[in-house]
Amino acid sequence: MTAETDADRSTRSERRPRLLGWRSALLGVVVAFVVWSLVRAFLVDVFYIPSGSMEPLLQPGDRIAVSRTAFASRPIERGDVVVFDGRGSFAPLDSGRGWIGDALQGAGEWLGVVPNETVFVKRVIGVAGDHVACCSPDGRLTVNGKPIDEPYLFPGDAPSTMKFDVIVPAGRLWLLGDHRSDSMDSRALLGAPGGGLVRTDRVIGEPIAILWPLDRLGPMTTTPKEVR
């Protein structure tokens, strides 16, 4: 048996802090990832805006922060802008990609490198019990027989070029984009199962801030809420 030399002991002592340093760094990354995942799952999530359907409020390419607790203490109201899971209404329940494809797509969506194909942003025009129709003699939408003002509409857009007459059942929402001429919304699904109405339990939350691009960074408001 050979005796341990001073050099051996010195080398081992040097390796131990290095190993502990790597372990601490790795643990820090894991903890940060878990905390961020919990924040996104229960408090504030981040979503990518792929289209111009909510212009001028939201622009294509925007990354938005969405409060998951916004409607925990109050009901969803007319005029609110909501982020929702469109599977079963705006998007098919089955993507057709299989579980591996869905996992890869989900990872890309979570990282923000690909648009989310099943999450949408629209404005609430009708809530349970409302009678929503297009249009009044002066071309405005009506809610419960009263024409409404919509100052948030994309400049030059008509409230709707498609006629509709809908009574919103309990637990459902009638949703339209602010850029009506460039929005696939409840109007486009009138003949589909569910008639374009989205379940309230599919609502993820409310946009509260724009995170990207930097020239649009800051808190946002979805008001004015002129739909009464």
Rg of the chain over CA atoms, in angstroms?
25
Tell me the C-alpha distance between 226 and 219, whole Å: 20
Pull the structure tokens for residue 16: 């131990």
Tell me the C-alpha distance between 188 and 53, whole Å: 13
Tell me the C-alpha distance between 134 and 126, whole Å: 12
β-bridge partners, 48: 63
53 is catalytic: yes
Q: Which of 51, 53, 89, 186 is catalytic?
A: 53
Q: What DSSP string describes 167-217?
A: EPPTTEEEEE-SSGGG---GGGGTTSTTTT-EEGGGEEEEEEEEEESGGG-
Q: Which of 51, 89, 122, 183 is catalytic?
A: 122
Q: What DSSP string describes 66-102?
A: EETTTTTSS---TT-EEEEE-BTTTB-S--SSHHHHH
SS3 162: coil
Q: Among all residues, which ones are annotated catalytic?
A: 53, 122
